Structure 1
């Protein structure tokens, strides 16, 4: 795989059973690049290890006064130098390619998972952790993947050096062969503590990143309530915790590095003392002593790869574990036969959630009232085929009798579109914002009119630069930060209406607008979505009154169905949610009214209805 061939046509199906298995899977998928790096690494490492042999031959030739052997030794040193230069350049090139391609594969896998899960991803994983995985963790994983081949080359070179020295000069070779394994494995007892401290540092850094993300996202609110200093103090405290954890981690790695310097020095001292004695006794020549000394001195070049691979693994394993945890998230636990019509859309019909009993008949506008806003958000995700909890998937939502989790992802998303209560606007022009996959039935202008975006268009026209006042060409800033909350909400609603899905699920689509605008939006949505299945999760009487049917969900179950006016007169729990009555007010009302007969459907007192709608407005 070359960098110019990125991105991958298919990044593959990762092994996400554990972080270690994920790392091994990445290594297997880059076997060709790993082999290339290993071969170039062997050329480099063997060239470095062979230099002392050439130098020893040269020294011994000078001692013996043999000019021919000195020339041969010079030629050998020249060839080894060339091998080192070529091996270093090529190994670095292949290693960087392995790093980048591994990181790119992980990023593609994360992007694919994000597209698959959508907004449900942030419900299952903290936003700060997602940022950490997609940035720093990706680099650490790529580092370990590319370091494997360099470590393998260094380890094989050390084995070859030990065997060669035993054959070349047994008296000194045995000492080196016994000492090198000790040097290579000396850091193992220190690794668990170093890894633990590194994990603590990353955990604290992740929390600090999440805090920073949340602070930036809520900066406008913080400024409004004067809370900047409070959150700044929290972030400062979190940063200091990260700094202290980083210092503690660095101390352990500094100790490991010191051990990697100290022990080779002791081995080198032992070789020099023992070798000098052998040379004085005439058992070895000066050239042989120089050769062994040089090999031991340069062995640090190979030994430092042991420290690097240990550090890379300790840093990448938690990163791989986090990445595997994100990649293991699934939209569904099962995927069986695909059921789509010729147009690729899911078979039409009623939308039914077996878990709550909520039914949205085909072609009608159904409003769902939940007393708990969080429960409403979870229900919206379920209706879109994205259960917020992994164990919710055993009761998949049915569309026309077909479980949504049995449909292909593209078909399910074409059939059902969910708009969150806090939708995101991507940067770009208004025309680009509304240029989304759609049926082509609903024109952008009609969607903007239904969502009551007239004042938004006027504001964009006034803010336009070099667009001749055309609001469709005016650029919207990232996440629509230049717009008010109500303006962002209405543009997001217009985008959803343009898509014209078979089933549209809206979670509190008018929570940020005034009552007059809300009334016109309710009428516009009902008119534009006539004959299409629409589900609105809301508790505003202005929206509920235009719905064809209203479902009350209490404690996770649908307990009442009817029109808005019918439920106001017959269902106290519904009236409590819609009118925001407290338990005391309900009890007082019941005591005052006595055991009266419930009002017949459509016979609610006009004064009471006006009071309800007035309180909501």
Structure 2
């Protein structure tokens, strides 16, 4: 069954039931103790102050001190347990979201910017977790109301019935008041997530924007997105203020009615002075539980909205189906495409022989991107098949497949850590990978060599340095089939020529596909395939195509 907002919320609560039960019990002790304080004060007035009994005064003051001590300690540990339940539930949701986003079948990122996913995994997960903070206090508030009602029934049946019968309709009204807040909170989170995604997108592409002079357009785009987010936030804030104001008004009227009825009974002599003090104190105490209910209702409204957004990611359909097979351990590395239609690709037939060093030239960048999607199984073609060593991709487990076929994207990101940490994936010949990618030159220019820390996304390195480190990471993995997309667009010609020769040598005997228009890289390939109109338009060696194919010369040498 696909996750829904209700199931996400239910799982977040049920997974912490032991902590919540303990927090609810301790919170109930606190609220029950708070409700008993005005009752004890009323007893002190009737049995000690009115009679002048010092013994009774001392006795009830001791009782009052014990009650204060119990309610103080119970609140402290109830809050601890509730907060722990909240953090554990939020952490569990973040782990579930991370597993879904990292699922080799993909699909979670469809239609969402990376920043939006981060916002859901942080802000929304936290809001769902906060539900565990408020639920124990909702139970405690109800217990406080129950103790107040019972106490008022002992003082006066009309007062007790007023509280017991008046509370349900009041709670129903608070639920209705919370509906607009829930809707606007959902919109607020959606707009905030989109703004975060746009901001992350702009920051990651800042150099490109400056290079093409598009800063003004980018700023205008973010300004519109930010203003939309601000407007949604203000609407949610107004809904929150209206919600709290309405709840306070309703509870204030209810408490005033209770106090007036108590005063009338005291004036008629139906209750004593101490009982009147207790009744007024209980009426004032009722403000506490009702404020708790208002707080709980607001947090539940926001939690439900966030749970829907979390569920939308968890329930996102996978981009590809999952097979159960695994590539042969000693597979030759033969890749075959037959009649592949996907995006710009149109009935593409392509054979990559085992151990071949193949170049693919795609004058249309979209065709290159769609070919990489199919080879890396980021998407399944709408028609045709892709095979590895005679086995269709659809029959293989995506995780196992990507261990055999590695697609090194042109815009691969680095992570925060040392340069060496970014390269080492498994126990391989790292030095050889660093040399073949010319990343050893990058290491020599850094203060601590390969142990120099790299900033998030590799921003402390230049574009060419990032490319070389990313290529070293792909080579260190040493997969049976390696697909590399434009690995040298940001390096100088001398370094590119060195990488071309080293790359050919380090991948000797392993299947390698270079999707590029670099003449230096294409010159060392066994064969070059040119995509034209989504299908193979020409093929041959680099020298043959340069000599005989004008379109190839235009794409590669211009």
Question: Common fold, TM-score beyond 0.5?
Answer: yes
Cα gap change, 1:340 to 1:50, in 2 (>3 Å): farther
Of 416, 419, 438 in structure 1, the residue corresponding to residue 405 of structure 2 is 416
Corresponding residue of 1:599: none
Corresponding residue of 1:449: 435
* TM-score of the aligned structures, taking structure 2 as reference length: 0.86
Contact 1:541/1:578 (8 A) holds in 2: no
Give a deviation string over 1:382-408, Cα, whole Å, max 9, x none: 322332xxx769977432234556555
Of 386, 400, 404 in structure 1, the residue corresponding to residue 389 of structure 2 is 400
Cα gap change, 1:334 to 1:202, in 2 (>3 Å): closer
Residues in 2 aligned to 1:167 and 1:402: alpha-carbon distance in whole angstroms: 80
Cα gap change, 1:358 to 1:18, in 2 (>3 Å): farther
The answer to whether the aligner puts 1:380 opposite 2:367 as a matched pair is: no
Cα gap change, 1:556 to 1:141, in 2 (>3 Å): farther
Contact 1:368/1:537 (8 A) holds in 2: yes
Q: Which runs of structure 2 are paired with 1:228-267 in the superposition (5 Å)?
A: 228=215, 231-232=218-219, 234-267=221-254
Q: Name whichever of 40-49 and 477-486 sits farther off.
A: 477-486
Give a deviation string over 1:412-467, Cα, whole Å, max 9, x none: 332121111111123444333332215x3xx334333333446x43xx43442xx4
Corresponding residue of 2:274: 287
Corresponding residue of 1:537: 515
Of 412, 431, 434 in structure 1, the residue corresponding to residue 420 of structure 2 is 431
Unaligned runs of 5+ in 2: 342-348
Pairwise CA distance, 1:29: 1.5
The answer to whether the aligner puts 1:278 opposite 2:270 as a matched pair is: no
The answer to whether the aligner puts 1:579 opposite 2:551 as a matched pair is: no
The answer to whether the aligner puts 1:522 opposite 2:500 as a matched pair is: yes
The answer to whether the aligner puts 1:495 opposite 2:479 as a matched pair is: no
Contact 1:215/1:231 (8 A) holds in 2: yes
Give a deviation string over 1:303-359, Cα, whole Å, max 9, x none: 222222222222223332333333334666654545366xxx585542234544443
Corresponding residue of 1:46: 32
Cα gap change, 1:303 to 1:557, in 2 (>3 Å): farther
Instruction: Tell me the SS of whatever aligns to 1:243.
Output: helix
- Larger relative contact order (CA 8 Å, sep ≥ 6): 2
Pairwise CA distance, 1:514: 4.7
Instruction: Tell me the SS of whatever aligns to 2:103.
Output: helix
Unaligned runs of 5+ in 1: 1-14, 581-612
Contact 1:461/1:474 (8 A) holds in 2: no
The alignment covers a number of residue pairs equal to 549
Q: Name whichever of 307-316 and 56-65 sits farther off.
A: 56-65
Pairwise CA distance, 1:105: 1.4
Corresponding residue of 1:152: 139
Pairwise CA distance, 1:170: 1.0
Cα gap change, 1:437 to 1:81, in 2 (>3 Å): same
Q: Which runs of structure 2 are paired with 1:260-409 in the superposition (5 Å)?
A: 260-329=247-316, 334-339=321-326, 345=329, 347-353=331-337, 355-356=340-341, 357-387=349-379, 397-404=386-393, 407=396
Pairwise CA distance, 1:59: 2.2
Contact 1:49/1:161 (8 A) holds in 2: yes
Contact 1:38/1:152 (8 A) holds in 2: yes
Give a deviation string over 1:159-205, Cα, whole Å, max 9, x none: 45435534552121122223222332323333232223323332332
Corresponding residue of 1:602: none
Residues in 1 aligned to 2:536 and 2:277: alpha-carbon distance in whole angstroms: 87
Q: Name whichever of 364-373 and 113-122 sits farther off.
A: 113-122
Pairwise CA distance, 1:238: 4.1
Contact 1:128/1:211 (8 A) holds in 2: yes
Instruction: Tell me the SS of whatever aligns to 1:510.
Output: coil
Contact 1:141/1:316 (8 A) holds in 2: yes
Residues in 2 aligned to 1:423 and 1:346: alpha-carbon distance in whole angstroms: 28
Residues in 1 aligned to 2:330 and 2:178: alpha-carbon distance in whole angstroms: 54
Contact 1:333/1:393 (8 A) holds in 2: no
Corresponding residue of 1:94: 81
Residues in 1 aligned to 2:6 and 2:302: alpha-carbon distance in whole angstroms: 12
Give a deviation string over 1:542-596, Cα, whole Å, max 9, x none: 44444334445455555666555666788x8xx646624xxxxxxxxxxxxxxxx
Residues in 2 aligned to 1:205 and 1:515: alpha-carbon distance in whole angstroms: 44
Pairwise CA distance, 1:100: 1.4
Please tell me the root mean square deviation across aligned C-alpha atoms, in Å: 3.3
Contact 2:350/2:536 (8 A) holds in 1: yes
Contact 1:100/1:142 (8 A) holds in 2: yes
Cα gap change, 1:431 to 1:349, in 2 (>3 Å): closer
Of 68, 79, 83 in structure 2, the residue corresponding to residue 81 of structure 1 is 68
Q: Which runs of structure 2 are paired with 1:9-20 in the superposition (5 Å)?
A: 17-20=3-6
Of 196, 211, 214 in structure 2, the residue corresponding to residue 209 of structure 1 is 196
